[in-house]
Structure 1
Amino acid sequence: MKFKPFYVILLIIIIGAIFLFNSYNTIQSNDEKVAASWSEVLNQYQRRADLVPNLVNTVKGYTAHEQKVLIDVTEARSKVASINIDAGQLTDPAMIEKFQQAQSQLSSALSRLIAVSENYPELKASSLYRDLMVQLEGTENRITVARGRYISAIQVYNSYIRKIPGKLIADYYDYLPKAQFSVANEKEISTAPTVNFN
């Protein structure tokens, strides 16, 4: 049986179309995973931001003269709330950096608040304070997990749109790589810490 050139060309066109549709759909699927992962990251950061006022108010009752720390936490929380990044902005590294800086400032302010609370045994004994600290610790763990899932989703998406055939489709439809989370103190943590007992 001899194939006619028309059928061969038609077969090549059909295989090519299936190949292109599959690549396009894979990009769409990976992009949706990135958006969903980012939403989970934002959800966990929002959970932490929602816990902050309760924690501040609980600590405030015990630590009247530690107002600077309480003000820092409140200001950091309001800065975090003012930065809104949706999934469409994930290709902008400057926005991701701004978001990360605000989150780092809130983390730092919360660390100082927790350190101050260590000086107040009555506060540490308060069941409300203990419950809030457990919720905050759980939220920090959830943030870590959500960020890990986002990083994995970004890796799959960015890898696919940088390799053929995904690159062809991504270039045609202007799909750009998404920005990854980075560590603010990357230079500091790349050096091994010095342990000195003197």
Structure 2
Amino acid sequence: MSTLRNRLARVALLVLAPVLIAGCGINNIPTKEERAKAQWAEVQNQYQRRADLIPNLVETVKGYAAQEKSVLTAVTEARASATQVKVDASTLTDPAQFAQYAAAQDKLSGVLGRLMMIQENYPDLKSNQNFLALQSQLEGTENRISVSRRDYNEAVRDYNLEFRKFPNSFWASTVHSGSKPMVMFQANAAAQAAPSVSFSPTTPPATSTLPAAPAQ
């Protein structure tokens, strides 16, 4: 009888062990880590979408406002800098590397704001259908970037909290010792502020009959 009880006890332990382990939060860290990484992938996806729109946007503006060379050059250079910053899995846990990536993207946001303000001085550009379509796509992408950054921050905040809660903090230092807290995006007041652009009164806006650049 005692042998049977021992066997039943062992079977019960084998059945209940996974449930008990799951209930104590051992899976929380990897689960929330994967969720944060998925949100990070969405952030990168939206930034790439913006980068893909910029060359055609610059070419369209150039056809109507070629004299705004400094702004066009600034946008092109900022895009190059933003796309050249390399990111990998270590970026999320490296504050310096993450800050470099975020700063490059924020700088691009700022110069794009300057580029979009140019339209007020060029009626032909402002009414160009290709420009309007690109403008709409860019605005939509900027909104999606904002949402994806917010969702990423929320996922990371939830994930990082696991390193401070018991017993999950114990699992973080043992079973999941390879997992590290992730870095969040910080609000950039300079990038979010509307840029001011000064146009010289001695240089009248130019009109152009050039056709719109083909959509990519």
- TM-score with structure 1 length normalisation? 0.82
Over aligned residue pairs, what C-alpha RMSD do you find?
A: 2.6
Are the counterparts in 1 of residues 24 and 167 from structure 2 also a CA contact under 8 Å?
no
Are the counterparts in 2 of residues 55 and 132 from structure 1 also a CA contact under 8 Å?
yes
1:59 matched to 2:61? The reply is yes
- TM-aligned CA distance change 1:84 to 1:22, over 3 Å: farther
Are the counterparts in 2 of residues 93 and 179 from structure 1 also a CA contact under 8 Å?
yes
Structure 2, gaps ≥5 residues long: 194-216
Give the CA deviation at 1:61.
0.3
Match among 116, 119, 139 for residue 118 of structure 2: 116
| Cα distance in 2, alignment partners of residues 35 and 49 from structure 1 | 21
Deviations 1:3-24 (A, max 9, x none): 99xx6xx96xx65993278633
Are the counterparts in 2 of residues 118 and 124 from structure 1 also a CA contact under 8 Å?
yes
Are the counterparts in 1 of residues 46 and 141 from structure 2 also a CA contact under 8 Å?
yes
Deviations 1:105-159 (A, max 9, x none): 1011101111122210000100000000000000011101111110111011011
- TM-score with structure 2 length normalisation? 0.76
Secondary structure of 2:26's aligned partner: helix
| Sequence identity (%) | 43
Counterpart position of 1:194:
none
| Cα distance in 1, alignment partners of residues 137 and 189 from structure 2 | 27
| Cα distance in 1, alignment partners of residues 56 and 26 from structure 2 | 46
Are the counterparts in 2 of residues 58 and 128 from structure 1 also a CA contact under 8 Å?
yes
Are the counterparts in 2 of residues 38 and 87 from structure 1 also a CA contact under 8 Å?
no
Structure 1, gaps ≥5 residues long: 190-198
Counterpart position of 2:91:
89
Q: Residue type matched to 1:167 in 2?
A: S
- For these two proteins, the number of residue pairs brought into alignment is 181
Counterpart position of 1:34:
36
Counterpart position of 1:159:
161
Counterpart position of 1:182:
186
| Cα distance in 2, alignment partners of residues 185 and 146 from structure 1 | 18
- TM-aligned CA distance change 1:16 to 1:162, over 3 Å: farther
Give the CA deviation at 1:88.
3.3
Are the counterparts in 1 of residues 82 and 108 from structure 2 also a CA contact under 8 Å?
yes
Are the counterparts in 2 of residues 20 and 169 from structure 1 also a CA contact under 8 Å?
no
- TM-aligned CA distance change 1:16 to 1:50, over 3 Å: closer
Q: Residue type matched to 1:176 in 2?
A: K
